[in-house]
Structure 1
């Protein structure tokens, strides 16, 4: 399986990948009348979402969804709106004809925690599934109750400790580290 496109989250004016979910209430297309189809090997589930935290509240900002044949045929006549927004169509990471619903600002009543991450360490990429949080330099745990952010915890140091335990120290690693990071370690 190819590495998968992650959902995104805009938090404190930065774009993060959602690298872990423990909870319930994130967007599910089937609960809204969609039947997502896989579009590429990088998106087997057929859709990806971008969420945004605005004033400590979680919203669905964008939905990109690969269309079923039935939906494609129906859309030749009239596009289906979602939450009052009509889709645009363009090439997307989800693959063949996809509906893109922008600027939704739909409250998401998620309860639980999200691990959000950015600054992916490219050398740790594995061509399989979603990339885990420890493969990113910056990681935050965001804890929500019914869509409201109640706590944010920086988990970056813990992820660095996990990397140190998982990635064996070797000449190759040391050479990569010096090359990738610079000889001064920065």
Structure 2
């Protein structure tokens, strides 16, 4: 033992010995719920259409801010494990490769489980769009809203995360979210 050093307290030992592998899901839910309540209160006097648009824009802006930081953390952890030979490096050469990385390892990093996602190429005239299809978004579990405003998509936060990841990888895009037949669709349109 070095002079003038004291043993670590029990709470210090636990914090240092446990390396968190993913963000805390209940904390994510609580913060998202509180932020959504704040956004609802801030835009309360607007007509229904403007209210829905304003809320979704604020939620997507939150997703963009958080998504860039989470992607950076994900890449750093992935790089550390790649250097140790645990994982193969990600191929991020095309937008479809980035969306595949979002679909499997990044979502598993965020939510602790690899939910089944499906990336399909969207048939547009210039062939620059994709759909990311999700069965039950994690955001929908934490947010409730008045029945008058049932058109609000809480998944706008996740569309912002997808937009931020694509932006960090050098692909400017617009991401829209909508529901159809019980599935949530993230429509990704790339800007060239």
TM-score normalised per structure 2: 0.26
Higher-helix-fraction structure: 2
Using CA pairs under 8 Å that are at least 6 residues apart, name the structure with larger relative contact order, 1 or 2.
2
Higher-strand-fraction structure: 1
Instruction: Please identify the structure whose Cα radius of gyration is greater.
Output: 2
TM-score normalised per structure 1: 0.26
